[in-house]
Amino acid sequence: MTKSICVYCGARDGTVPAFAAAAEALGAGIAARDWRLVYGAGDVGLMGRVARSVQVAGGETFGVIPTHLMSLEAGKRDLTAFVVTETMHERKKVMFMNADAVVVLPGGAGTLDEFFEVLTWRQLGLHDKPIVLLNVDGYWDPLDALLRHVVDRGFAEASVLSFVKTAPDAEAALALLD
């Protein structure tokens, strides 16, 4: 059975060239392992880079996009599977339900929303899927500090920190999922 990796990431490239390189390396690595990419079906930013890298390497892509983002995120219709949902909530549910693990590349508020939702579900015992932060150029260092702060101030058990693994690059992230 093919492993499916859900990738959360920005619909922009960000300001650091290493972000784009990491997205492309992650996509190539997913395809090289014969895993399937599950992602937000956009053809822009890091999302588009991951998907195109998987495709170039001959891998499978499963994209999920809500109708209201079709034009904004340039819905990528040449995927192996392309699902259109009515809402963002449906999008996130379909993506997560079709994945065995989650990798989080740099991104903005939407990426953080997706990350915190799956982290909360893990904390509540609703799943035990791996969650990996791809910490390119230290991008997620402030998030790691925030999670530690939440634990230190008594708003979460220390176990929440064990639910998230951090990798400095795509190869290390993929190795955590091997």
Q: What is the rounded radius of gyration, in angstroms, for the C-alpha atoms of the chain?
A: 15
Residue-number span of the structural domain to which 31 is assigned? 4-177
According to DSSP, the β-strands at 60-66 and 36-39 are: parallel
Mean pLDDT of all residues in the chain?
A: 95
Task: Report the 10 Å Cβ neighbour count for 46.
Answer: 30
Give the model's confidence band at 129: pLDDT under 50 very low, under 70 low, under 90 confident, else very high.
Answer: very high
Nearest CA to 167 among 150, 149, 151, 144?
144
In angstroms, the CA 148 to CA 156 distance is 9
Answer for the pair 132, 145: CB distance below 8 angstroms, yes or no.
no
Give the model's confidence band at 1: pLDDT under 50 very low, under 70 low, under 90 confident, else very high.
Answer: low
- Report the CATH number that the domain containing residue 144 is assigned in CATH: 3.40.50.450
Nearest CA to 75 among 39, 37, 33?
39
In angstroms, the CA 82 to CA 61 distance is 8
For the stretch 48-73, pLDDT in tens is 999 999 999 999 999 999 998 877 76
**The total number of residues written for the chain in this structure:** 178
Amino acid sitting at position 18: A
For the stretch 74-119, pLDDT in tens is 777 889 999 999 999 999 999 999 999 999 999 999 999 999 999 9
In the chain, the percentage of residues whose pLDDT exceeds 90 is 90
Please, where are the H alpha helices in the chain? Answer: 17-32, 45-56, 88-97, 109-123, 141-152, 159-162, 170-177
In angstroms, the CA 31 to CA 112 distance is 25
Helix (H, G, I), strand (E, B) or coil at 52: helix
Helix (H, G, I), strand (E, B) or coil at 10: coil
Quote the tokens at residue 124.
């509540």
According to DSSP, the β-strands at 101-104 and 36-39 are: unpaired
Average pLDDT over residues 150-155: 98
Average pLDDT over residues 37-56: 96
Q: What total number of domains does the chain contain?
A: 1
- Confidence check: pLDDT of 17 > 90: yes
